[in-house]
Structure 1
Amino acid sequence: MNKKIVAKITIVSTIVGLMIAVQYNTMQQPTARDTRDIWEIRQELSEEKKRHSELLSEISALNKIVEEYEQNDAESQAQLLKNTVDSLAQQTGITSVSGPGVILNIVPASELIEFGYRIEPISPDLLIRLVNEIYHYNGLFVEIGGQRIVHTSAIRDINGATTVNGVPIDKSNLEIRVITNSYEDAEKLYSYLYASSFRDEFYLDNLNLVINEAQSNLTIDEYDGDLTNTYLVENSKGD
């Protein structure tokens, strides 16, 4: 047989073999299917719609501020600017803030102490999860054990101790203060936390999560530390 014909047959056979191998591998390892049921998908869709609604509300509020700047005179604009600066100062944590909210207490489970169980401080992971849920359910400002939570705050384990902003927290009675936008939001946050499974998760760590009823006025102190930024530079010339 001609060598060229043999070479062609060999190349064709190799290609066909590779195609069969790829097809076999695809049949043996099918693409993973989405196994979520309809209710899980609806719940995720509901969360996304809530985020979308929150973004639209923020855009509407910013547009309203712009309209006020455009429609008012210079004196009113100066007051609006001051109000905006004060609001930003509260959001960044450089000033104290007061408003309706909820106080949470994390305390050792007394019945477990009586039976000799060892009480460890709350783990950073569990504390971070709790803070995330608080923010998710309309918590605006949070203070943990006297430490104001800001955009640079860190909750981590340092040498076996749970710390907030680098400060070890009290493992015998940790107070968490949460301020919300309105008393209605404070009541909703209380109801959610009271009905959630978070208390069970704390009890697994021999701790009790005490959720106090909503209050009309709470105060959270300013952040006790230096706030740093990476991208903003102060213009000393005043231009």
Structure 2
Amino acid sequence: MAADKERELDFLCLTLLELVAEIHEKKQEQEKCLQDGFLCLAKARYALGVDRVSKLHYAAEMTPNLFVDCSKSDGDHTEEKWDILKCVNSKFYESQSQEPTDSTELRRRRRGSEPDSPEDDDKELDALLQEMNVKEKPKVSSTDPLRWFAVLAPQSLRQAQTAFTKAAHVSCEICTLRNKLDATKKRYADARRTHEAALIESSSKTTEDNTAEPQKTESTD
């Protein structure tokens, strides 16, 4: 039992060291991606002009092309996993307001001008509800941000976009590794606490056996 606990502690220690090394490696990769992205962005501003690549050319309404998804694993030590979700058409952002249709306006006018029977009102209400359920709400489409600055974006601007996108992916990997590191630390602390309690119990039991053995010898004499 004690040997199994010691092997488990050794395994968790090695896992912690591997996670720390992997996080350090991912941080260096993230820093390299950001450096490349800002360098390519500076080249694009030099090629197109400072005024051509600035916040003045941002779109009035912007929707993200990437979404971060956080999923949790079930268990004693919860681990969070962060993933990047890329969407071509933004399904998460829908317009909250919808203009009334012409048919709805006509129904309202007709209803206000001449009284209808209760059966006609029920039929009209059912038709209106069915039309509202069938018709989809307009969605905000996601466009390429490079089109904000130029119709034909230079290669350096595309390289900057690629570098920043990769940095976002690496950031999610770092978050996942950090959560895994925290969960492994908790597992190591629990295993060490259990192992120390078992050692204390074993040593106390050995001490009791050693003190009981001389008493048994004296009674025999």
- Which band: TM-score by shorter chain? under 0.3
Greater radius of gyration (CA): 2
TM-score (norm 2): 0.24
As a proportion of its length, which structure holds more helix? 2
- Structure with the bigger RCO (C-alpha within 8 Å, sep 6+) is 2
TM-score by length of 1: 0.23
- Larger fraction in strand: 1
